[in-house]
Amino acid sequence: MSEVKNNSKSSSVQKVSSDPEEQSSSEDNSSSESSSSDTNTKSSELDFTRITDGNFNGLSYNWQEVAVAGTGLHGDQGLQWSQDPADLTNHLNIRDDQISDGSIRLDKIGIEQDGNDLDVVYSEQHGVLTAAIKDDEVEDAVHNATVKFYPKGVSIDSQFNNGVKDDTSTDRIVFWTSNNSYTEIFAHK
Give the mean pLDDT of 175-187. Answer: 92
The whole model's pTM is what? 0.77
Dist CA 60 CA 135 (whole Å): 30
Give the mean pLDDT of 79-87. Answer: 94
Among the listed residues 123, 110, 109, the one whose alpha carbon sits nearest the alpha carbon of residue 48: 123
* pLDDT reported for residue 139: 65
Distant-in-sequence, close-in-space partners of 42: CB < 8 Å, separation ≥ 6: none
- Burial of 111 per CB tally in 10 Å (0-12, 13-18, 19+): buried
Least confident range of 40-44, 95-99, 147-151: 40-44
User: What pLDDT band is residue 58 in, cutting at 50, 70 and 90?
Assistant: confident
Length of the chain counted residue by residue = 189
Higher pLDDT among residues 118 and 36, named by residue: 118
* pLDDT reported for residue 29: 38
Express each pLDDT in 7-25 by its tens digit: 433 322 223 333 333 333 3
Please give the mean pLDDT across all residues of the chain.
Answer: 78
